[in-house]
Structure 1
Amino acid sequence: MGKPILPLLLDGTVFFRLGDVQYEDVTGGRMPSAAYIQRLSASASPVGSQPERTSAPPRRPLGTLLATLTGHAGTVMSVAFSPDSRTLVTAAGDKTAQLWHVTDPDHPTHTATLTGVRLWNVTDRDRPTLTATLTDGLSTMSEVAFSPDGRTLATAGDRTVRLWQV
């Protein structure tokens, strides 16, 4: 019907097949953001009408550069968004990972630098805590991926894939 779908996450975690769908996280009794309310209001308006007030940024052409993130000493090899699209992690050949708040993609904020081949709890994105250090096959590790439920980590390199309990 030409109307956007504006899902709310009320409780639990994002179903892995919908992890790339933008949604508003209102777990723990949080209220939706002003931007979400504005989008909801605009989508409820009759076709052709304009909402009275809008604080949403103007639409930009596809392919518009929003920001450039710097800070690694080596070549950036991998990037990934968190399921809620609020955090970006970048990993580089300097054996570091950088965490960025990207809630406002025009003004991303660096929040942490993670070093070595370690597992970090990033529930508090401003203060990650070390949970484990991986010790096998580190010299050849070139790729990592978490299972959709977040319980298993796969690492790849040197014709070998290793699975880790996380």
Structure 2
Amino acid sequence: MAHSHFDAAPILVLGANGKTGRRVADRLRKQGLDVRACARSTQPRFDWNDRMTWSAALEGVKRAYVTYQPDLAMPGALDTVNAFFDTALTSGVERIVLLSGRGEEEAQAAEAALQRSGARWTILRCSWFMQNFSESFLLDSIRDGRRGAHAART
């Protein structure tokens, strides 16, 4: 089997302590792939609000899984992810997988920026995570048998 230049390069996983990043990093490692799992608390450190942390995270990387914190719909997110895409490509990244939102205007703008970036890309459009019920903000309400704030409005 022929090996590509991807094989030796680590795969950058942003949001490595989060809901999806943690799972993506675990699955890639189980496949025997070299993973550089980055977050604000890792080494190398990655912080969306500190562009000085981006270079170390991107060093030698050809592929990246990108989740933007706190959310692509936040003011300034588009400018930040666009700058990250530019930095990633300049650093040698060739493929970017972006965790997006479904139907959010700002998320669609980030998707379009990635599509225009020149990278090979994959976009994951998610609208809800079942883990919100089992390990996130709805868990206490479920355990206590209470209706969540979202249910009270319906």
TM-score, with length taken from structure 1 = 0.24
Higher relative contact order (CA 8 A, sep 6+): 2
Larger strand percent:
1
